[in-house]
Amino acid sequence: MCGIVAGLFQRPVDPAVLERSLDTLIHRGPDERGHWLSDDRSWALGHTRLSIIGLDNGLQPMAAADGAVQMVVNGELYGYRAIRDRLRQAGSVFATDSDSEIALHLYMEKGVGAAQELRGEFAVVIADRRNNVMIGIRDRFGIKPLFYAVHEGNVVFASEIKALLALGVPARWDREATLQEAFLFRPHERTLFDGIHTVPPGHYVIARKGEVRTYCYWDMDFPTQSALAADTRSDEDIVAGFREVLHDAVRERLVADVEVASYLSGGIDSCAVLGLAQEGLERPIRAFTLTFDDALYDESALAKKQAAHVGANYHPVPVTPDALAHEYSDAVWHAETMFVNGHGVAKYMLSRAVRDAGIKVVFTGEGADEMLGGYPPFRRDVLLYNTEGQDPQTVARLLDELRESNESSRGLLTTDREAPAELNSVIRRLGWAPSWVETFSHVGIHTTALYRPEFKAGLEAMDPYEATLARLPIDQRVIGRDPLNQALYLWARIQMPNFILTFLSDRMEMAHSVEGRVPFLDHKVAEYCAGIPVHMKVKGMREKHVLREAARDVIIDEVYNREKHPFMTPPAKDDDDDAMFELIGDTLGSDALDEQPVFDPTAVRALYAFMPECSPQEQLAYDAMFHRVLSTTFMHQRFGMTG
């Protein structure tokens, strides 16, 4: 994994500016750095390298034989050896042992069609002076970040926003995107920074003369309900097929010239990945687990037992409120977005512990919930909207069980309230409102009620849902699909790239030069998951049913039978010894809260004073609110943002 900087400039760029931009990405690639400038200095590429494959000869940028095409790559490209062999037979001459170089030769052979050939987690920028264009390509799910901006006629790209700011792009709050953020329904190409965009997952962009155009090369493709009904495969065949594609994805991600370790929780996702990975190795995998003092959030006992079951080495990483508070601001700086919990900070600490242990590469379990309906709102959707043949009393009982069994996330991921009027556009477009959208709508209403009136000025009539849905191919990809698959599609295109793959994945891992490998987001796994019947994803109250059966032999019974519990850190407690509670209180009482332009300081302080009177469920929901305020305040400070 690496850091990328690139630009197509109207006037010659100062090499020192390019180097300052690369300085902000040194955590993404501490092993090597390089840059290329055209003779007139109007084209630029820069790269910081974390060496994983081809340790001694993978310096970038890479160039075609005549120098007319230059390229930088961030990420891992799986199956590269077979592709490299084919390209060599066709006449390509490789200069390195790095997997990244196949992208250059594929582009020379197929142009932007090369994106279809790439498998893995990647972001690519190509300077093609033959066609006078600069091209950015992002992987299918947005695992690897790639941002761009058009500023003063210049088009600039980077792996992180801070690198664009170092190139002169101003740091301003995007008021519309910030309002959408409140509802956790921000379009996948917008950021909280005005004028700074992401290359959407599964897309490429072409920049020319200060203009950027976006094109889709891949998207999630769920079958229609009629096509699902025509599926004649047995459950056993579906399980066997899933095991095959997942095992292949894990096996490909074991390829590295350095040690591969694993993150491990008590959930089935990371346990299954660890079990399948350990099967392919003679040495024990080092497995790293976050631990908490609060038993409701601590999964260390399960993780330790799972590690012993497969023969892995268990390494606990304790997280305390003191540590969370101490690392919070730095984690926000790396994430470049708002938080709703301390879990991003905990992942930041986990990655540092892995780095300090001498590890560069880890397996992670993200993506299984998105592919197989793991979160509580997805199970609620199946109970409420896939009710054919179900007994209403049984459905009501299971809904009660779902609510009672998710104490740690109740009020944040689940709701008992009716859908508000704000969801009318969603219901109009889809015919219903997915449970996760409904839950987060209440969060959005409460959050925007705390926004400064002047920050919301002119946005009163804005519909955050329509603005996002209008950017998605709803008629082609959503309508006519099973309700669960509709909910999964929207989550995968909004929640996953904007939030889960940001402050719970790449940004927290690469903050400490650690590469996360995500087998559940291998596109072959995702395509297989899209086509399986709903009952193999959620069966009654049993989420990720096909994964449980496919991984049965490599996981312990407790994990096999355990319900999904979202990864979260314990909420701040009204206690003199709780450093997170103290950090929130100190920040809310500081001038920094008054200086940020988003939240109304008077309203926020009033809510904080009201907290002791709230129920535990309300306090959990409000804890998420205070994380938003806290992270917003730190963003405004650390990036020198303007309103």
pLDDT digits (tens, 9 = 90+) for 120-167: 999 999 999 999 999 999 999 999 999 999 999 999 999 999 999 999
Same domain, 208 and 254: no
Question: Mean pLDDT, to the nearest integer, of 611-625?
Answer: 79
pLDDT digits (tens, 9 = 90+) for 34-72: 999 999 999 999 999 999 998 888 889 999 999 999 999
Q: Angle 116-493-333 (CA atoms, 0-180°, nearest 5)? A: 100
The whole-number pLDDT of residue 272 equals 98
* Assigned domain for 151 exists: yes
* Dihedral sign computed on CA atoms, order 590, 591, 594, 598: negative
Statement: residue 413 has pLDDT above 70: no
Torsion of CA 633, 639, 642, 643, to 10 degrees: -40
Token representation of residue 425: 């556009």
Same domain, 278 and 191: no
- Close Cβ partners of 470 (under 8 Å, ≥ 6 residues apart): none
Measured CA to CA, the distance from residue 208 to residue 211 in angstroms comes to 5
* Assigned domain for 6 exists: yes
b/e string for 386-421 if b means 16 or more Cβ within 10 A?
A: beeeeeeeeeeebbeebeeebebbbbbbbbeeebee
Same domain, 504 and 551: yes
Given pLDDT bands bounded at 50, 70 and 90, which one contains residue 456?
very high
Measured CA to CA, the distance from residue 171 to residue 177 in angstroms comes to 14
- Close Cβ partners of 198 (under 8 Å, ≥ 6 residues apart): 138, 142, 145, 146, 147, 148, 188, 189, 190, 191, 497
Statement: residue 408 has pLDDT above 80: no
pLDDT digits (tens, 9 = 90+) for 468-512: 999 999 999 999 999 999 999 999 999 999 999 998 999 999 999
The whole-number pLDDT of residue 251 equals 96
Statement: residue 409 has pLDDT above 60: no
pLDDT digits (tens, 9 = 90+) for 326-349: 999 999 999 999 999 999 999 999
Same domain, 46 and 180: yes
Question: Mean pLDDT, to the nearest integer, of 381-403?
Answer: 73
The whole-number pLDDT of residue 426 equals 95
Torsion of CA 399, 405, 411, 414, to 10 degrees: -40
Token representation of residue 402: 């779902």
CA 304 to chain centroid, in Å, comes to 26
Q: What are phi and psi of 606, to 5 degrees?
A: -65, -40
Q: Which residues pair with 46 in a beta bridge?
A: 5, 35
Same domain, 45 and 95: yes
Largest CA distance in the chain: 74
Instruction: Please give the span between the terminal C-alpha atoms of the chain, in angstroms, as a whole number.
Output: 33
The whole-number pLDDT of residue 404 equals 67
> Residue 362 belongs to a domain with what CATH number?
3.40.50.620
Is the distance from CB of 225 to CB of 482 less than 8 angstroms? yes
* Assigned domain for 104 exists: yes
Question: Chain-wide mean pLDDT for the chain?
Answer: 93
Strand pairing category for 196-198 and 147-151: antiparallel
Question: Mean pLDDT, to the nearest integer, of 380-407?
Answer: 72
Same domain, 200 and 55: yes
Same domain, 211 and 314: no
The whole-number pLDDT of residue 405 equals 61
The whole-number pLDDT of residue 387 equals 61
Residue type, 418: E
The whole-number pLDDT of residue 612 equals 77
Is the distance from CB of 600 to CB of 453 less than 8 angstroms? yes
* Assigned domain for 311 exists: yes
> Residue 177 belongs to a domain with what CATH number?
3.60.20.10
* Assigned domain for 605 exists: no
Statement: residue 530 has pLDDT above 80: yes
**Percent above pLDDT 90 for the chain:** 82
Statement: residue 389 has pLDDT above 60: no
The whole-number pLDDT of residue 621 equals 75
Same domain, 181 and 320: no
**Percent above pLDDT 70 for the chain:** 96
| Domain encompassing residue 317 | 225-371+495-561
Measured CA to CA, the distance from residue 178 to residue 569 in angstroms comes to 24
Other C-beta atoms lying within 10 Å of the C-beta of residue 615:
9
* Assigned domain for 363 exists: yes
Measured CA to CA, the distance from residue 301 to residue 298 in angstroms comes to 8
Statement: residue 290 has pLDDT above 90: yes
The whole-number pLDDT of residue 390 equals 64
Query: Which among 520, 543, 561 is the end of a domain?
Result: 561
Statement: residue 412 has pLDDT above 60: no
**Lowest-confidence region among 128-137, 166-175, 303-312, 409-418:** 409-418
* Predicted structure pTM score: 0.95
Query: Which among 216, 247, 267 is the end of a domain?
Result: 216
Question: Mean pLDDT, to the nearest integer, of 549-571?
Answer: 91
Q: Which residues pair with 642 in a beta bridge?
A: 172
Is the distance from CB of 159 to CB of 26 less than 8 angstroms? no
3-state secondary structure of 19: helix
User: How many domains in the chain?
Assistant: 2
* Assigned domain for 574 exists: no
Question: Mean pLDDT, to the nearest integer, of 544-555?
Answer: 97
Is the distance from CB of 2 to CB of 50 less than 8 angstroms? yes
Same domain, 164 and 185: yes
Question: Mean pLDDT, to the nearest integer, of 115-121?
Answer: 97
Element (H, E) at 47: strand 43-49
Measured CA to CA, the distance from residue 213 to residue 150 in angstroms comes to 12
Question: Mean pLDDT, to the nearest integer, of 78-95?
Answer: 95
Same domain, 229 and 212: no
Query: Which among 538, 561, 584 is the end of a domain?
Result: 561
Same domain, 168 and 298: no
pLDDT digits (tens, 9 = 90+) for 224-278: 999 998 999 999 999 999 999 999 999 999 999 999 999 999 999 999 999 999 9
Same domain, 235 and 207: no
Measured CA to CA, the distance from residue 201 to residue 418 in angstroms comes to 32
What secondary structure does DSSP assign to 326-392, as a single string?
Answer: HHHHHHHHHH-S--SSTHHHHHHHHHHHHHHTT--EEE--TTHHHHHT-SHHHHHHHHHH--TT--H
Q: Quick check: bond before 223 cis, omega within 30?
A: no
Measured CA to CA, the distance from residue 46 to residue 53 in angstroms comes to 19
- How many residues in the chain? 643
* Assigned domain for 384 exists: no
